[in-house]
Copies of this chain bind each other. A is one copy, B any other.
């Protein structure tokens, strides 16, 4: 399995650093190779083409979000608390890796439409988990049963995403995780009805 070989991870990590530091359009394959400490050609032993590197960056890192979220859903806590932990997780992961935050919030959005659709496909599994929380919350009577799940999901994700992007654009000047409670309250109000 290519993904288990050390060079695979090496290249993914190099890509995040290079993109964060140089910007999406200034991240040439040769730059990524140099940062990874491999030859240009080696990249193509692990990735079909440049787009594949970028999608893989997203896939690999999105897994962390999704895996954490899955665990949160399992826990024996209220849905409000699950929502809290989800926001907290999202903010914590991105706070702990500023390079990654820059890449996901700013740089990868410059990708062409084809790449962005592929990124969205990866994102979908994360949003489905969010739907799970919302549905459960409604069933449990914690959330308003008249809300539209899709719109609620868009509100939750849109708000988290917008908050994170603003934080990145402000060059991480303030502590993102500290905003968790406030964001949680806003969103909770939204879904509680």
Interface positions of A (Cβ within 8 A of B): 23-25, 106-107, 109-113, 116-117, 120, 144, 147-148, 150-152, 154-155, 157-163, 166, 169, 179, 182-183, 185-187, 189-193
Assess the B120–A169 pair: CB atoms within 8 A. yes
How many copies of this chain are found per oligomer? 4
- A79: shortest Cβ distance to chain B, in Å? 16
Q: Which residues of B sit under 8 angstroms from A169, Cβ to Cβ?
A: 117, 120
Q: Which of A152, A158, A169 has the most CB of B within 10 A?
A: A158
In-complex Cβ contact of A193 among B110, B155, B185, B191 (8 A): B185
- On chain B, the residues within 8 Å of A179 by CB distance are 148, 151
Q: A190 with B193: in contact, given A110-B113, A158-B161, A166-B154 (CB under 8 Å)?
A: no
12 additional A-B pairs beyond A106-B113, A154-B159, A158-B159, beta carbons within 8 Å, are A24-B113, A110-B110, A117-B169, A120-B169, A148-B182, A151-B159, A154-B162, A154-B163, A155-B158, A158-B158, A161-B162, A190-B190
Contacts of A183 in B (CB 8 A): 151, 155
Partner of A147, one of B117, B151, B154, B182: B182
Report which of B107, B113, B159 forms a contact with A155, defined as CB distance below 8 A.
B159
Query: Would you call B154 and A155 a contact (CB within 8 A)?
Result: no
Known: A154-B166, A162-B157, A186-B151. A109 touches B112 (CB 8 A): no
What CA separation (Å) do A116 and B23 show in the bound complex?
Answer: 12
Chain B residue at minimal CB-CB distance from A193: B189
Q: How far is the CB of A25 from chain B (nearest CB, A)?
A: 5
Contact check: which of B110, B117, B161, B185 meets A109 at CB < 8 Å? B110
